Amino acid sequence: MSVAYVDSSALIAITFDEPGASDLARHLNACTRLVSSNLLEAEARAAFARENLVFQEHSLAGIDWVLPDRPLTGELVSVLEAGYLRGANLWHLATALYVSPQPGDLSVATLDTRQASVATALGFSVMGEPRHP
């Protein structure tokens, strides 16, 4: 079973057919399960609005929402110990740690360079070729 945590940068790149996104989409399609924080929906909707496009509901199809039932204090601290991230990226990786306290059991799909670096430091395998600062 291969599970991947989907970050907004990955979903948006695939949805907007950015360069290199087709390879990432192929990797995600090979996974048996995709998960993400429901923050992904807000970030995706904002990207569509920024581009003056109608939000495509199907862009979120197949993603299981992770809704923590407790504060993610420990995970937030662990992520920040691995490297600094801004709020949304910090939340995404903390949620990934919540899903998989053993990072080797989960891949993180991101195209954000800094987030990929911190994810790797935490022990996650990273899907995608990061290119965003």
The DSSP string of 49-93 is HHTT----GGGGTTEEEE--SS--HHHHHHHHHH----HHHHHHH
Q: Give residue 133's pLDDT band: very low, low, confident or very high (50, 70, 90).
A: low
Neighbours of 3 (CB within 10 A): 16
Residue 66 confidence (pLDDT) above 60: yes
pLDDT at 20: 77
pLDDT at 132: 54
- Nearby residues of 34 by Cβ (< 8 Å), 6 or more positions away: 3, 4, 5, 6, 28, 62, 63, 64
List, in order of start, the domains of the chain with CATH numbers: 3-127 (3.40.50.1010)
